[in-house]
A and B are shown apart, each in its own frame.
Chain A
Amino acid sequence: MTGSTKPPFNFGRRRFLQDVGLAGAAGLVGMPFGRAFAAEPEKPKEIIVRAWGGSWVDSLKKGVSDPFTKATGIAVRHDLTEDNEIQPKLWAAAAQKRVPPIHVNWDTTTNATKSALRGVTEDLSDLSNLAGVTELAKPVGLDGYPIVNTYGYVYVLAYRPGAFPDGAPKSWKDLLDPKFKGRIALYNDGIGFHFPAQVAGGGKLEDIPDNMQPAWDFIAKIKEQAPLLGEDPDFTAWFQKGEIDAACTISTNAREAKANGVDIAWTVPEEGAKYDTDGLWIPKGLPENELYWAKQYINFAITKEAQQVWLDGLGLPGVVPGVTPPADLVGDPSYPTTEADFGKLIRISSKVQVEHESEWFGKFKEIMQG
């Protein structure tokens, strides 16, 4: 890891936390970094932030990383290792008491919760800007802030308008139309689809996780439609190459495909759509000066200025009040802002998801691989 030099003074962890607290008291938001971090520890040459590629990392760079570098002089390198693949590396580094390979992990809240339960995340409760965020930023079912949720997102039903001449699909059941056989796509672990499938299958959300048979029954019907199963980049590619007419995917991917000229629209069907969050966290084991600056990176990511630019790029609602939606997403169901918007979405606690993910994943795979 570059720039992992020891600070010239013997700063202790407690001292750093005091500094962060002082910076917060000084009203860090909007204050130039140079003034805010008068008592700052030695700066590393760079910090490494794991990110997703494509429009995801472009947005992060524009909204958070570049302004952070401009303000602090610390370069930000983006590591595009998949979130699932960086996880065992971080766990192994913590178990072996090594310095982790990244400073900040941009992760799904579900994945991050696993790392928090395993005890490999730093506590971020002392970030000064947490005072100005909404309840969404707080991870559910965990003590303190091992993760800071930074925005929410919806697993929409994205579709090719040409394939739905009568207008947007009203229900997930519309995918069962024989004309869509081999023309629909889901995530290969079923993520985003389990909960609306529970409703579409005639079940109740309250029965999750104890009775998800309705979800499995509906997914078995979907299996008969020979869906393609993939990851985020696959959906964009499949829409572009005309392989599919509809997919359950994160709205950001559909919006990116649309920006790339693909004829695509999206909707939240009547059964609802899964709403979830992503967040930022710091793995344990960093030198203290690097930990300090990694925390400042996250602290900056939850300012209104950073969120506005970052999330404009992603087209997602943030955790800071007052962030305005991009013009193309005003009133869009994938950008919920009102109680009524959230009423159409399905949110299940990360704790339940984490405890049952393996089981749900196995069941989904069993159906799809059969």
Chain B
Amino acid sequence: MDALEAIAAAVWPRSFSAAVPWLMLLPAVVLVGLLVLGLWDMADGSFRTLDTATFLPSDDYSLANYHRAFTERLFFTVASRSLIGSLIVTAITLFLAFPYSYVMVRTRSAALRKFLLIALFLPFFIGQVVRAYGWLIILGSQGMVNEALGLVGVSPIRLLYNYPAVLFGLVQYMLPFAVLMLAPALTAIPEEMESAAGSLGANWVRTFLHVVLPLAKPGFIGAGLVVLTLSLTDFAIPAILGGGSQDFIANAIYDQFFRTSDQGMGATLALLLVAVGSMMVGVVFALFGAGTLAMGRSK
């Protein structure tokens, strides 16, 4: 033990102790540093246009890619679809996640809690792409749902390859994330608070509206931010369930990088996506705080 302490003292003398917090920050600094380096490189590329005579980026800088991003209808359509879609998905997901979390936290049945936990974690073991393909099997023209409808005389209907299908797939994908973010916030609400409200004459609706919901706000904010940002940047669900005509921004970025080989335009769209996502998160932080993402600290 003495030897180990001696080695530790040699490697990290006591006089370095003030640097310990900084050392603990090192992984985050490295991570963010790499991200910033990548973004810097992309920022450089975003100011260069593609020369289709050589398929090399231009040597000179211009705002041409940004001009295209803000003026071409395609990008406006895809961006607005992504933004509106992510807001809808966030609202529906939170609406569904709350009762799930509440029952999971408050139930007195250990079996039910285990069942809900397993049902929550099971999707994490199945990748997003596989889950999306699962919906193709279930909702396809010859899928289980249409077969069931056929049994009652309803002819097959197109359930896939449209905007609602994409939103549905995203909600199903995001639900576990939202429940995981909400559950700690609900756990932190003492049950006695609800009992006290009841004993003071509040029915369950008033208790829910005036006690549970306000106290669950940090969970809603944390879950909402996670779902919002993940939905906004999703690629696979729109690609698979959208039938090619319901692209989100990430799909448009992929197209620029990999289909048209226009890395400058791809970088431009990626940076704009980062900017829009960051702004949305910033607005939520400013208005409501960071919720559970603040890790117990006030804003």
Contact = CB atoms under 8 A, between A and B. Distances in A.
Interface of A: 82, 84-85, 87-88, 114-115, 117-119, 182, 188-189, 226-230, 241-243, 354-355, 357-358, 361-362, 365-366, 368-370
Given A84-B259, A243-B161, 7 more contacts: A114-B261, A118-B56, A228-B243, A228-B245, A243-B141, A358-B52, A368-B244
A369 B72 contact: no
Contacts of A370: 73, 77
Given A85-B258, A242-B142, A369-B78, A229 B244 contact: yes
Contact of A358 (B50, B54, B258): B50
Contacts of B74: 362, 365-366, 369
Contacts of B72: 362, 366
B43 to A, nearest CB: 18
Contacts, number: 81
Nearest to A358: B260
A321 B34 CA distance: 55
A88 B142 contact: no
A369 B259 contact: no
B244 A230 contact: yes
Contacts of A189: 255, 259
Contacts of A241: 136, 140-142
Given A242-B142, A243-B140, A368 B261 contact: no
B141 A357 contact: no
B158 interface: yes
Interface in B236-252: 243-247, 252
B237 to A, nearest CB: 15
A369 B77 contact: yes
B142 to A, nearest CB: 5
Contact of B53 (A117, A230, A362): A117
B263 A88 contact: yes
Nearest to B146: A242
The 7 closest A-B pairs by CB, nearest first: A229-B244, A358-B260, A366-B74, A188-B244, A84-B258, A118-B55, A228-B243
Contact of B257 (A82, A88, A114, A355): A88
A88 B77 CA distance: 27
B141 A228 contact: no
B221 to A, nearest CB: 32
A182 B141 CA distance: 11
Given A228-B161, A241-B141, A368 B55 contact: no
Interface in B133-158: 136, 140-142, 158
B159 to A, nearest CB: 11
A230 B258 contact: no
A188 B142 CA distance: 23
Interface string B66-96: 0000001110011001000000000000000
Interface in B40-58: 50, 52-56
Contacts of A115: 55
Interface of B: 50, 52-56, 72-74, 77-78, 81, 136, 140-142, 158, 160-161, 243-247, 252, 255, 257-263
B245 to A, nearest CB: 5
Of A229, A242, A362, A368, most B-chain CB atoms within 10 Å: A362
B261 A88 contact: yes
A358 B65 CA distance: 13
A303 B55 CA distance: 32
B262 A228 contact: no
Nearest to A95: B56
A365 B255 contact: yes
A87 B257 CA distance: 10
B263 A361 contact: no
17 contacts: A88-B257, A88-B261, A114-B261, A189-B255, A227-B245, A228-B161, A241-B136, A242-B142, A354-B52, A355-B52, A355-B53, A362-B72, A365-B255, A366-B73, A368-B244, A368-B245, A369-B77
A182 B159 CA distance: 11
A181 to B, nearest CB: 9
Contact of B158 (A114, A182, A188, A361): A182
B44 to A, nearest CB: 14
Contacts of B263: 88
B257 A117 contact: no
B267 to A, nearest CB: 12
Contacts of B160: 243
A228 B50 CA distance: 30
A154 B8 CA distance: 71
Contacts of A228: 161, 243-245
Of A85, A115, A119, A228, most B-chain CB atoms within 10 Å: A228
B55 A114 contact: yes
Nearest to B244: A229
A357 B142 CA distance: 36
